[in-house]
Amino acid sequence: MNITNIKSTYGYVGFLPFATFSLIPWIVGGEVSKTLIYFQLGYGAIIITFLGGFAWGWRDDQKNQKLNLSIGIGFSLLGCLILLLTYLKLILISLFLSIISFYLFFVFERSTEDFNKKDIDYQKFRKILTLLVCISFLISIGYWINPYSNPYL
């Protein structure tokens, strides 16, 4: 098994909590659903913070690496902001910010020299994984704003 396959396998396993935390609320409902969406936001905040730290491991001789480090720190801070907004019960804002963060991180990563040197399978994998994560947050937004399931109505 080559390294790209291993990364893909771990990436999809890492996606399972996103899928679980976004789909189970539609099945179970009630107070458990609100808790699962909080978990999704917490897990997402941890992951985007982790992804932001990747910039530290990219080649130092890469074009714009100083800027890349700063942007990576910015994504880590976005993860902290998502946690704070979740704690303040600003869930809809947290969900939208999560979608924006994951998509913008993919755009940021795609703009680097290191990403363009990766094999095409890895590039496709990262695109699909980002789309799946964003879709999971969209599903949770749908649950949150649905008048029949909104935990605050």
Whether residue 76 lies inside any domain: the answer is yes
Whether residue 130 lies inside any domain: the answer is yes
Side-chain half-sphere of 69: how many Cα atoms within 13 Å?
10
Whether residue 152 lies inside any domain: the answer is no
CB 95 within 8 A of CB 140: yes
**Cα–Cα dist 48/102, whole Å:** 7
Whether residue 61 lies inside any domain: the answer is yes
**Both tokens of residue 45?**
């905040």
Q: Give the residue with greater pLDDT, 64 vs 16.
A: 16
**Cα–Cα dist 73/70, whole Å:** 5
Whether residue 132 lies inside any domain: the answer is yes
Domain residues for 128? 13-145
Whether residue 150 lies inside any domain: the answer is no
Domain tally for the chain?
1
pLDDT attached to residue 43: 97
pLDDT higher than 90, residue 3: no
Query: What does DSSP assign to residue 56?
Result: G
What's this model's pTM, rounded to 2 decimal places? 0.90
The pLDDT confidence band at residue 153, using thresholds 50, 70 and 90, is low
